[in-house]
C-alpha cells in the first residue's frame, strides 16, 4: 500500500470508477483536490464551467446521453448551494450523478466558518444519498458506494461532502468495490405469479394501450419493449422523457402523452380497457385530473421503484423489477395478437390534430417564423438522428413535439422540476457524452439568459453545441398561460433582449439571425455544416401558442386544439 493524501485518493477512486471527465469550478475548500487533479489531467479531463449550476447540468447532459454517471466537483458554501437546483433536477429525472463538494475541516464544523454550509442537510431531501467524508481513510469506500448507489436501480444523484482535513490527511490507499448495501435492493427479484397475471390480463385485453417512460431508456430495454409491443400489437404513447425510447416512426407509436401531447393518445387513454405503464411515474402533466383518469381501464404498472406504485394512480397489478428483465418474461407468455380495429381508432384523432394544429405549425404559408417549423426543419436536416436538448418553456414543448427520434438517448430536457437555464450547460455535457453525434439545443430568450455565461465554457472547450434560439421577446410559456387564464394581463413577461448575435461572436461562437422564412433552410444547413459551436437566432412570432393543451386540472382527454 502507498501512503497518499485523501485528495489523491479521490482522484484514484474516480479513475477506478471509470470516470474520465469532471465538470467543475475550484475554490478554497476544494483546493487540495484540485491540486491533486493537476497530476491527473491526462486521465481526468476537467471542464471549467462558469457557474456551479452549470457543472451539474452539464454532468446531467453527459449522463443522460451516455448512460454513464455524470460527475461534478465544486467548492464549499455558495459553490455547494449553487448545485442544489441541478441535484434536485437529477433526482426528479432519475439521472445518475456524483457531486463532490468541498467542506471546511472537521474541527471547524458548526462554527459558522467561512463558506461553511450544512451540505448534507441541504441536499439530503433532494438526493439519493448524501454523505460527509471526514477522514482520508473513508475516501475509497465513499466514492465506490456513491457510484454504486447513483447508477443502480432507479438512478439518481449522490452528494459527497469532502471535508478539507480529509483531503489533506494521509492514507494507505487501497481501491474499494461496493456492490452490496444491506437493506438496499436495487434489482428486486421478479414475482413470477405477477408475470403470469400480467400476461393473462394482456391476452384478455381487447383495447390495450401502453405508456412508455424514461425507465425503458434507462434500462436499455428498447429491443425488449419493442418485441413486447409488436407481439401483442399494442399501440403506445410516450412521456416527455420517454420520447426517444422507441423510434418516432414506429407503426405502433401514437405520439406524446400529457398536457401538450398528441390528441389521440390522450383521448384513447380514457377509452382503453387495459393501461400498461412501463417505467413512468404518472406525473400530473400526463394524467390531468386524477379522478377521471382511465377509470374504465385496468392498470398494470411495470417499474423498478416500488414507491411509484399506487402513488398517483391506483393499479390493478404492480410488476416490480427491471423492465429489461420483466418485459421479456411477460412477452414469452403473450399470445400473438391483432388489434387493428382498436388501433384504427387513433387515426381520426391524428388527422384532426394534423389539420387543426400540426400542419399550421410546421407548414405555415405566411407570417412570422413559428417554433414548430424551425424544430421540424432542424430535425429533418440532421436526418432525425441528432440529440435534442431543450431548455424549459414553449421551446421545450415545441422541440419535443416536432423533433423526430431514431436513436435512443436522444431527448435531454428538464422534466420533473422544469429548470429554466438547463439547456445550454446540459448540451455542453451532451457533446462530451456523445462526441460522435450532433447536439441541437433549443432555447428561448428567457432561459438562455439564465446560464448564458456558459458561452465561456463553449468557447474554451470548443464544445460543438448547435444553439437554436427561438426568440419571441417574451417569457413565452408564462405569456400563454396569462393569455388563457389571466385575461391577457402580461405581467412582466415581455422581455427587452440584448444582441445575442454580438454576444455569441464575443465568445468566438459563429452566429446568424434569421427573420425571413426564405432564409431558414440555408441558415440551418450552414449551422449544421459549420464545425464546432453555432448560434442560430430565429425571430419567432410573439404570440405563438403550444397546442393541443389540456388545461390544468381538466380531464386528460379534454384537449384544446385552438385558443
Three-state SS at 53: helix
Pair 340, 376 in one domain: no
Pair 420, 466 in one domain: yes
Contact in structure between 402 and 372 (CB atoms under 8 Å): yes
CATH number at residue 301: 3.40.50.1220
pTM: 0.97
Pair 152, 11 in one domain: yes
Is 553 within a domain?
no
Q: What is the DSSP letter of 190?
A: P
Q: Supply the mean pLDDT for the chain.
A: 97
Answer whether residue 2 shows pLDDT above 90: no
**CA angle 520-522-524, nearest 5°?**
70
Is 442 within a domain?
yes
Is 185 within a domain?
no
CATH number at residue 7: 3.40.50.970
Structure confidence at residue 563 as a pLDDT band (50, 70, 90): confident
**Which of 143, 172, 201 lies at the terminal end of a domain, its last residue?**
172
DSSP assignment of 93-126 = TT--EEEEEEE--GGGTTTT-TT---HHHHHGGG
Pair 411, 525 in one domain: yes
Structure confidence at residue 82 as a pLDDT band (50, 70, 90): very high
pLDDT at 475: 96
Pair 72, 211 in one domain: no
Is 563 within a domain?
no
Count CB neighbours of 78 within 10 A. Answer: 13
Pair 159, 231 in one domain: no
Distance CA 450, CA 420 (A): 7
Average pLDDT over residues 300-323: 98
Any residues with CB less than 8 A from the CB of 122 and at least 6 apart, and which?
A: 80, 81, 84
Q: List, for residues 523-536, the tens digit of each pLDDT value.
A: 999 999 999 999 99
Is 376 within a domain?
yes
Q: List, for residues 410-450, the tens digit of each pLDDT value.
A: 999 999 999 999 999 999 999 999 999 999 999 999 999 99
What helix, strand, coil percent values describe the chain, rounded to 5? 45, 20, 40
DSSP H/E element including 398: helix 394-402
Residue 394's domain comprises 368-539
Average pLDDT over residues 52-77: 98
**CA angle 77-58-433, nearest 5°?**
145
- Say what angle helices 371-381 and 520-529 make with each other, to 10 degrees: 40
DSSP assignment of 259-277 = TTS-HHHHHHHTT-SEEEE
Pair 290, 397 in one domain: no
Contact in structure between 146 and 130 (CB atoms under 8 Å): no
Average pLDDT over residues 22-28: 98
Three-state SS at 509: coil
DSSP assignment of 299-315 = EEEEES-GGGTTSSS--
Pair 401, 517 in one domain: yes
Answer whether residue 145 shows pLDDT above 80: yes
Three-state SS at 496: coil
Pair 162, 233 in one domain: no
Pair 207, 165 in one domain: no
Structure confidence at residue 480 as a pLDDT band (50, 70, 90): very high
Diameter over CA atoms, the chain:
73
Query: CA–CA distance from 265 to each of 66, 270, 313, 538 (Å)?
Result: 29, 9, 17, 31
Is 68 within a domain?
yes
Is 529 within a domain?
yes
DSSP H/E element including 484: helix 476-485
Q: What sign does the dihedral 62-65-66-70 (CA atoms) show?
A: positive
Contact in structure between 540 and 515 (CB atoms under 8 Å): no
Bridge partners of residue 418, in order along the sequence: none
Is 212 within a domain?
yes
Pair 127, 17 in one domain: yes
Distance CA 437, CA 466 (A): 11
**CA angle 50-51-53, nearest 5°?**
140
Contact in structure between 65 and 469 (CB atoms under 8 Å): no
Our count of domains for the chain comes to 3
Q: Phi and psi of 55, rounded to 5°?
A: -60, -45
Contact in structure between 195 and 330 (CB atoms under 8 Å): yes
Pair 122, 253 in one domain: no
pLDDT at 1: 73
Three-state SS at 508: coil
Taking Cα atoms as reference points, which of 391, 427, 387, 424 lies closest to residue 404?
387
Distance CA 371, CA 120 (A): 42
Q: List, for residues 245-275, the tens digit of each pLDDT value.
A: 999 999 999 999 999 999 999 999 999 999 9
Amino acid at each position: 500500500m502507498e501512503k497518499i493524501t485523501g485528495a489523491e485518493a479521490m482522484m484514484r477512486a474516480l479513475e477506478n470508477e471509470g470516470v474520465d471527465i469532471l465538470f467543475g469550478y475550484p475554490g478554497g475548500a476544494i483546493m487540495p483536490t484540485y491540486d491533486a487533479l493537476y497530476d491527473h489531467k491526462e486521465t481526468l479531463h476537467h471542464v471549467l464551467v462558469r457557474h456551479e449550476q452549470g457543472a451539474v447540468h452539464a454532468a446531467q447532459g453527459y449522463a443522460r446521453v451516455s448512460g454513464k454517471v455524470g460527475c461534478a466537483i465544486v467548492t464549499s458554501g455558495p459553490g455547494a448551494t449553487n448545485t442544489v437546483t441541478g441535484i434536485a433536477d437529477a433526482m426528479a429525472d432519475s439521472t445518475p450523478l456524483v457531486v463532490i463538494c468541498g467542506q471546511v475541516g472537521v474541527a471547524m464544523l458548526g462554527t459558522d466558518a467561512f463558506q461553511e454550509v450544512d451540505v448534507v442537510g441541504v441536499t439530503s431531501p433532494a438526493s439519493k444519498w448524501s454523505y460527509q467524508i471526514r477522514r482520508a481513510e473513508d475516501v475509497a469506500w465513499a466514492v465506490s458506494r456513491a457510484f454504486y448507489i447513483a447508477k443502480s436501480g432507479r438512478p439518481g444523484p449522490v452528494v459527497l461532502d469532502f471535508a478539507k482535513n480529509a483531503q489533506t490527511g494521509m492514507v494507505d490507499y487501497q481501491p474499494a468495490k461496493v456492490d452490496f448495501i444491506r437493506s438496499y435492493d436495487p434489482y428486486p427479484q421478479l414475482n413470477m405469479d405477477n408475470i403470469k397475471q400480467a400476461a393473462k390480463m394482456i391476452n384478455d385485453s381487447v383495447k390495450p394501450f401502453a405508456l412508455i417512460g424514461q425507465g425503458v431508456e434507462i434500462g436499455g430495454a428498447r429491443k425488449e419493449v419493442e418485441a413486447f409491443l409488436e407481439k401483442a400489437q399494442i399501440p403506445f404513447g410516450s412521456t416527455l422523457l420517454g420520447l426517444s425510447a422507441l423510434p418516432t416512426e414506429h407503426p405502433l407509436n401514437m405520439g406524446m402523452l400529457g398536457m401538450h401531447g398528441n390528441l389521440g393518445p390522450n383521448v384513447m387513454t380514457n377509452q382503453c380497457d387495459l393501461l400498461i405503464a412501463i417505467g413512468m411515474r404518472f406525473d400530473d402533466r400526463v394524467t390531468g385530473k386524477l379522478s377521471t383518469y382511465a377509470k374504465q381501464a385496468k392498470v398494470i404498472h411495470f417499474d423498478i421503484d416500488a414507491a411509484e406504485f399506487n402513488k398517483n394512480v391506483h393499479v390493478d397489478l404492480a410488476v416490480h423489477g427491471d423492465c429489461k428483465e420483466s418485459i421479456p418474461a411477460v412477452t414469452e407468455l403473450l399470445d400473438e395478437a391483432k388489434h387493428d380495429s382498436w388501433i384504427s381508432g387513433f387515426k381520426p384523432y391524428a388527422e384532426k390534430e394534423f389539420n387543426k394544429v400540426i400542419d399550421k405549425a410546421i407548414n405555415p404559408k405566411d407570417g412570422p417564423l413559428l417554433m414548430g417549423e424551425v424544430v421540424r426543419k432542424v430535425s429533418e436536416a440532421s436526418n432525425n438522428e441528432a440529440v435534442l436538448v431543450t431548455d424549459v418553456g414553449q421551446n421545450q414543448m415545441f422541440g419535443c413535439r416536432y423533433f423526430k427520434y431514431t436513436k435512443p438517448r436522444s431527448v435531454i430536457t428538464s422534466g420533473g422540476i422544469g429548470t429554466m437555464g438547463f439547456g445550454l450547460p446540459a448540451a455542453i455535457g451532451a457533446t462530451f457524452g456523445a462526441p460522435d453525434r450532433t447536439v441541437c439545443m433549443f432555447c428561448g430568450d428567457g432561459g438562455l439568459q439564465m446560464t448564458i455565461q456558459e458561452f465561456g465554457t463553449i468557447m474554451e472547450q470548443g464544445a460543438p453545441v448547435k444553439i437554436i434560439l427561438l426568440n419571441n421577446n417574451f417569457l413565452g410559456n408564462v405569456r400563454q398561460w396569462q393569455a388563457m387564464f389571466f385575461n391577457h394581463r402580461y405581467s412582466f413577461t415581455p422581455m427587452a433582449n440584448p444582441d445575442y448575435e454580438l454576444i455569441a461572436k464575443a465568445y468566438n461562437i459563429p452566429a446568424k439571425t434569421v427573420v425571413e422564412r426564405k432564409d431558414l433552410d440555408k441558415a440551418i444547413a450552414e449551422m449544421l455544416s459549420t464545425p464546432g459551436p453555432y448560434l442560430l437566432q430565429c425571430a419567432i412570432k410573439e404570440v405563438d401558442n403550444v397546442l393541443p393543451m389540456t388545461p390544468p386540472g381538466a380531464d386528460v382527454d379534454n384537449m384544446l386544439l385552438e385558443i
